[in-house]
Amino acid sequence: MADVVIQTTNLSKELTSSLLRRKVRILSGLNLTVVKGETFGLIGPNGAGKTTSIKLMLGLMRATEGNAEILGMPAGDKRALAQLGYLPENPYFYSHLTGREFLDFVGQLFGIERQDRKERARELLETVRLTEAADMQMRKYSKGMLQRLGIAQSLINRPEVVFWDEPMSGLDPIGRRDVRQILSHLKEKGTTIFFNSHLLPDVNEVCDRVGVMNRGRLVVDEQVKNISAGGNYKDLEDFFLEFVSKDDANIKASSNASNSTNSNCDTSSEEARS
């Protein structure tokens, strides 16, 4: 059996609404397994719980219920974090630094030796096509350039597992092609990849398996080859829309049934009082 790299069990998260002062469940009962060398894509509507799932797996948020393990260690364990690469959805950079300086800074956080940091930064800047802008302050970078640098920093420590949240955000078609090539190279090396994206053609091309999230729940996960045997991303799009629509319909039907039951109870109580 393949080595399990990512494992979540009944992973759930509740937040308290600041407006209504009541608890809102934003992730409910996520059970998921990703094995070594697999590329897993998490797709779903805005607000479905994709980013929350990643943050819980990394230990950036604390679960209300359930647990997550990465490389056999609890979410947030420093030993696991040292072997991970992470690109957040909205990365923050120290804008006064140059791209090269920032990669050197990240390398220091991982304890990488100076000469190795220098060489690694050079390699990654070339990989993400930022060599010419390497010594430019990041305040002068475009959105796409910052995204490329974010991808570079997530790979500085040669991670065993990569978590990317919307890696194609802000990239033009050339940038998206470059990221797909980077993903393919990582797959060849046996890196385990977990990422969120709204761009189904890219998900279809690079993922081994996809999961569809809706309203905080994983409604289905399936091998891409079983969905899109001919490589047509429209098959994945239809798959996605079908399961989200079914889930919405089930939730609506359940809500209507609950309201009807409550209404009948109220009527019976009123009659009893009469």
pLDDT digit string (tens) for 118-129?
999 999 999 999
For 178, other C-beta atoms within 10 Å of its C-beta total: 17
Burial of 70 (0-12, 13-18, 19+ CB in 10 A): buried
- Tell me which residue range forms the domain holding 208: 1-83+159-255
Q: Residue 270 domain-assigned?
A: no
Q: Do residue 50 and residue 165 come from a single domain?
A: yes
Looking at residue 262, what is its pLDDT? 60
Q: Residue 62 domain-assigned?
A: yes
Q: Do residue 230 and residue 99 come from a single domain?
A: no
Domain total of the chain: 2
Q: What's 3's DSSP letter?
A: P
Q: Residue 173 domain-assigned?
A: yes
pTM score, two decimals? 0.88
Cβ–Cβ under 8 Å, residues 217 and 28: yes
Beta bridge partners of 70: 6, 73
Neighbouring residues of 263: CB distance < 8 A, sequence distance ≥ 6: none
* Model confidence pLDDT, tens digit, residues 84-119: 999 998 888 889 999 999 999 999 999 999 999 999
Q: Do residue 113 and residue 148 come from a single domain?
A: yes
How many percent of the chain have pLDDT more than 90?
A: 80
Q: Do residue 184 and residue 61 come from a single domain?
A: yes
Q: Residue 233 domain-assigned?
A: yes
Q: Phi first, then psi: what are they for 80, rounded to 5°?
A: -75, -45
Q: Do residue 165 and residue 247 come from a single domain?
A: yes
Q: Residue 136 domain-assigned?
A: yes
Q: Residue 224 domain-assigned?
A: yes
- Angle formed at CA 130 by CA 124 and CA 133, multiple of 5 degrees: 130
**In angstroms, rounded to a whole number, what is the distance separating the alpha carbons of residues 165 and 168?**
9
Q: Do residue 53 and residue 167 come from a single domain?
A: yes
Q: Do residue 116 and residue 182 come from a single domain?
A: no
Q: Do residue 111 and residue 232 come from a single domain?
A: no
* Model confidence pLDDT, tens digit, residues 151-175: 999 999 999 999 999 999 889 999 9
Beta bridge partners of 23: 16
Mean pLDDT over 131-142 rounds to 96
Q: Do residue 202 and residue 234 come from a single domain?
A: yes
Q: Do residue 164 and residue 154 come from a single domain?
A: no
Q: Do residue 184 and residue 142 come from a single domain?
A: no
Q: Residue 176 domain-assigned?
A: yes
Neighbouring residues of 16: CB distance < 8 A, sequence distance ≥ 6: 22, 23, 24
Cβ–Cβ under 8 Å, residues 225 and 214: no
